[in-house]
A and B are shown apart, each in its own frame.
Chain A
Amino acid sequence: MSSSSPPAILADNLSKTYDRVPAVDALSFRVETGSVVGLLGGNGAGKTTTLAMIMGLTTPTAGSVRVFGADMARERGKVLHRINFESPYADLPHRLTVRQNLSVFGKLYGVQRLKARIEEIAEALDLAQFLDRRTGQLSAGQKTRAALAKALINEPDLLLLDEPTASLDPDTADWVRSHLEEFRRRRGATILLASHNMGEVERLCDRVIIMRTGRIVHNEPPDALIARYGRETLEEVFLDVARGRGAGARVETAQAIP
C-alpha cells in the first residue's frame, strides 16, 4: 500500500442529530487500511449511527466520512463493491436458500465464477451441508455463518461488522472470530467491528474507539488503554469509562485522530 493511499475510513467532524438530540457529535477518526478497529460504547452511544453514516445509509447532519477516499454522501457508488457488512439490523431473506441468497448477492457484487466461489466460501464457513436449506430454517449460529458468507462473498477490502457474534454460543463465536482473523491475515482487509464483547475486541482489534453519548472518549490500542487505566482487561476499562471513573474519564478529543 503506497503512502499516498487514502485511509480505509476517514471521518471528519461527523455529526448526526435526531430531533435536536445529538446521536453522534463531531466525530473525527481514521482507520488505516489493513487494520482492525473496534467501535465500542454502551447502548445509545452512537455506534450504529456511526456505522450507518460510514455505509452511506444515513446522511450526516454535519461533517463527512470518506471510504477509500470516496465521500460516502456523494460518491458511495465508487466504493460499494469494495465494502460489505453484517448487522443484526439486516437479515437475509428467509424463504431463499443459503445458495440462492449467496447467488443473488454475488451477482450484485459482480463476483465472477460465482458457483465456485459459493462452494468455496460454504466450505470455509462450514455451511456446505446447509447450502440448499432455506435461510429461515437455520439455527442462530448457522444464520450468523450464512450472513458472514454474504459479507465475505465479494472478498471486501473493508468489512463492517455490527455485533457479529451476538447470540452465539461460545464455541461458535470463537469459530467466527478465528475465521475473521484468518480472513484479515489472508486478505489484508480492513475491519471495523462494533461489539459489546470486550474479549472479542481485545483478541481481534489493533485499536479501539470508545464512544460515549455520541463522542469519542478513547482512540488507542487496547493494550495501551488497559495499561493507562491500570486494569487487567478491556472489559474493566469499559466499565470505568461507562461509569465515568479512572484515567480516561475526560473526553479526549485531542486523541480523536491519532
Chain B
Amino acid sequence: MGRQVAIVSAGFSEHASKRSDVNMGELVSEAIEDCLKKVPSLEINDIDAYVNGNMPAFEGSNIPELWMTDWMGARNKPLIRITTGGTTGGSVAIAGYYTVTAGLPGVETVLAIAFEQQSQGDTSVGLASVAYGEISILNSMGATYDHLTRLLSGGAAIGAAAYQATTYMNKTNITEEDLARVVVQNRHNAAKTWWAHLKMPDLTIEQVLDTPYIQYPLRYGMVCPASDGACAMLFTTEEKAKDLCDIPVYVNGVASVANESAILGYDGSGSAQIDPSMQLGAIRSSELAYSQAGISFPRKEIDYVEVYSPFPNQELMWVEKLGLFEEATAPEMYKTGVTAVNGELPVNCSGGVNSTNAIGASAMERPAEAALQIMGKASNQVPKTVHASIGSGWGGSLNLITLMVMADEPQRKWR
C-alpha cells in the first residue's frame, strides 16, 4: 500500500504586488517553467497528472484551472482541483503526494500548481466573504455589515491573528519588540530570495515599531503584503526521482487537520474555542505527520523549518506548537540567533509568508522552499546540511493546518 514519493523540483514565478504583465495562465506557466528547468531531462509532456489550486474569491474566477488548461500543458491530461482557503498551496502539495503514492497505473509524475493573482480583486472583500452567510442573518435584524464584520470575525484574517496574538502574549509575556524582531529576520531573508516580494535588507526593529496599529498588537509594519505569484512542485516515484535529480526529497509525512470553525462558529453561534492560541489542529497535524515520518524528537531531528506565518506572532506560536521549541521559548530562540540562517534550526529563510503572500500559493511555497533546502538549491541556502525539513500551512478560518515532513532518506518503517 502506498509507494514512496519524492519531490524532484520546485519553481516559482516572480512575486509582486501587481503582476500586470501577465494573465493568470501566464503567471502559472512562469512557475512551471522555473520548476521544469531544474530537471532538464523531463519534458512537460512527461507529466502524468496535475493538481491545481488557488483561492477562487480573489480573482473573481471560478475553477480557473479549466481556463488555464493549455498554459499548464494539461491538455487531455488528468487534472484535479483542490482548494482549502489559505492552506490551498499546502493542500495542493499534499494532494500531489497522494496522487503519486496511490499507485494508480500510469500516474507516476505529478505537477502540483498553486497560485494567486490577488491584485485582480479586492482582498478584503475576498477574505470577509468567508463569513457572509453566517453574519447576514444578524444583518437582517438590523446590524450593519461593516459593524458585523468587525465585531464577529474581528476583521477576517487579521482579526483572527490579533486574537491569537493577544492570547499568546498573555501566556508568554512577550513584547512588541519580539514581534518586530521576527519581521526583521523574515524581511532580511526575503532580500536574498529571488522570487520574494518585500525585500528589505536594511529593515530595523525601530522602523517596524514606528508604524501605526492596524489592530493591537499588530502594526502595519508587521503584516504580510498581498502578492501576485505562483508556485509549482514536481512529485514522482522513488525510482524515477533518482534519475531526475541528485538529492531527491522524500515526502515522509503529511497531515491537514481541521480544528473547529473559527471564532464565530457557524450561524454566528459562537465557538467553544476560548483560546485561539491553543491550536489543536496544529498539535494534531504534527502528531500525525511526525509519526508517519518516524520522527519522535522534532527539535533534534528536523534541520530546517518553513512555517506559515503571515503575522509574526504566529511564527512564534507555531514553531512551538509544531514541536520544535518548548512552550513560550520561541522568542528567546529568535533573540539568540537559533533561528537565523546560520543558526541551529533556521526558520523561514525564504522570508516566509510575512514577506510574500500570494494566498493560494503561499502554503505551497513553504514545503517547496523546505524541499529546496534539502536539495541545496534554495535561493537563501543555509550553510549547514539539511537532512529533514518541514513546511506548514494555516488557513480555513482559524482551523486548518497543513504539514509536510520531508527528508533525504525515504521512510519505510511505519507502513
Genuine A/B complex: no
